[in-house]
Chain A
């Protein structure tokens, strides 16, 4: 099973809402990532979890809060987002942190109204 799953596929939320994005992998990977991708732009790294610990936070605003409850699961909690946060949010995993291939999930298309 080389699949990374993400839910929901689409999410529309108001600026005062709280919502969460979920990512799951069952490949035994020990590194997991959140990326943000705007239209016609490359994925932009937000967070890296390494062995369930947050190892990189790319100066992401605190309205985005990642969580890694176990080695298979990664969440991104959203609160008080802005319209400019609308984007495709991609989760990825790799065998270990480092120069290993990253497997991407299909993404969550987020719209903030």
Chain B
């Protein structure tokens, strides 16, 4: 079953902040975040492997709440280069050993000057 992302789309001006959420009706064992620009391949942002974990990558950070079965991606002081579609990916079983990821439907982020 696919994780659910919200919002589906967000429009920002440069310098504004955004939050993208990823939730699952089943237990989450880890959460991967990727960004895909139009016409390009998805690019890895970060993985959160355990509940309570938080990570950062430039001005993009994420948290993982295992109990709530959700993860959030925080984009602060957005830049034009942040535009793209953001996907969360999760292994849907406790057996993470095979690397089988199921992606959420994506959140389209557009940053305007």
Q: Do A and B come from one complex?
A: yes
Contacts of A107 in B (CB 8 A): 41
Instruction: State how many residues of chain A have any CB contact under 8 Å with chain B.
Output: 26
CA distance A100 to B103 in the complex (A): 15
* Residue B54, interface by CB 8 Å: no
Instruction: State how many residues of chain B have any CB contact under 8 Å with chain A.
Output: 24
Contact, CB under 8 Å: B99 / A42: no
CA distance A41 to B20 in the complex (A): 17
CA distance A44 to B32 in the complex (A): 15
Closest to A44 in B: B103
Contact, CB under 8 Å: A42 / B44: no
Contacts of B100 in A (CB 8 A): 45, 48, 56
Partner of B99, one of A41, A44, A97: A97
Partner of B41, one of A44, A45, A94, A105: A105
Q: Which residues of A contact B (CB under 8 A)?
A: 31, 33, 40-45, 48, 50, 55-56, 90, 94, 96-107
Question: Can you give 28 contacting A-B residue pairs, CB < 8 Å?
Answer: A33-B99, A41-B106, A42-B87, A42-B103, A42-B104, A42-B105, A43-B103, A44-B103, A45-B101, A48-B99, A50-B99, A56-B98, A56-B100, A94-B99, A98-B98, A98-B99, A99-B29, A99-B47, A100-B99, A101-B44, A101-B47, A102-B32, A102-B44, A102-B99, A103-B44, A104-B41, A105-B41, A106-B41
